[in-house]
Structure 1
Amino acid sequence: MYGEDGVSFSDPIWLYPAVDDLNRRVPNALRIELAEAKRLALAGFNLPAALMCGRALEGLAHLHGVKERNLMRSLQRLQERGLIDAGMYEWASELRVLRNIAAHFGSRDEINREDVNDAITLTEAILDYVYVYANRF
């Protein structure tokens, strides 16, 4: 889009594919993290996309008052409080492992597009479970 001066361009508006299609009951801060993961994955940036999924899980814990030293302990606290069940805890633990792989040098080839797509899907499922389904049912 051209700017008001007819020469410059304004910031593009992302129309398709929709990257922020999470339920509006999920807090905006977490939707932003996951939307960024989706944009990164679409652009082929697997490592940072995996890291953003980890940030979303950290945000989930933080927004529920869990501020442990590491993500593993935070996930355990979420399970102990009943916010996530045993299955969700296992999924979140796998996401944590993927995030840790992405965070360390030398792991560039260990994370592929399929891993990241799975991580995004699982992260979205966990957020939906906590903010939509658990509250509704």
Structure 2
Amino acid sequence: MIKTKMVPDELIAVISYTGCFKRTSKLLRELEEWLKANNAKIGGSGFVIFYTGPLKEEGRYDVGFPLEEEVEGDDRVNIVRIPGHRVLYTFYEGSGRRAAYESLIGFVEENNIDVIGSPREVYHGDAVEIQFPII
């Protein structure tokens, strides 16, 4: 099922990375450890923002976590604020990743929806939420 929702302003901690998508899960664990070591309050599920095609093996990514309060970053970890925005989203589990992207892309094309930024995957345990920022 494809829906829309508003994502509120977010304070996020991210590590920027270029390389193989499979490594992003290791980077999320690394970032989570860094945040805990720096007494940061994690405010939600880990995510990956895709700056290249999300179904490619290699790309450019931000891996991150939302934060509940400001913390100081360093050379590796950036702390940024993302303004609230509307997203088109769906969920998948297991091997349904490609089908989920194809259904979102088809929905965007059929309904002439303007996607205004990079897709994001949010990891909620076994379920993955794919978000497309829209107008």
Q: Answer yes or no: same fold by TM over 0.5.
A: no
The interval holding the TM-score normalised by the smaller chain is under 0.3
Query: Over alpha carbons, which structure has the higher Rg?
Result: 1
| TM-score of the two chains, using structure 2 as the length reference | 0.22
**Higher relative contact order, structure no. (Cα contacts within 8 Å, ≥ 6 residues apart):** 2
Q: Which has the higher strand share?
A: 2
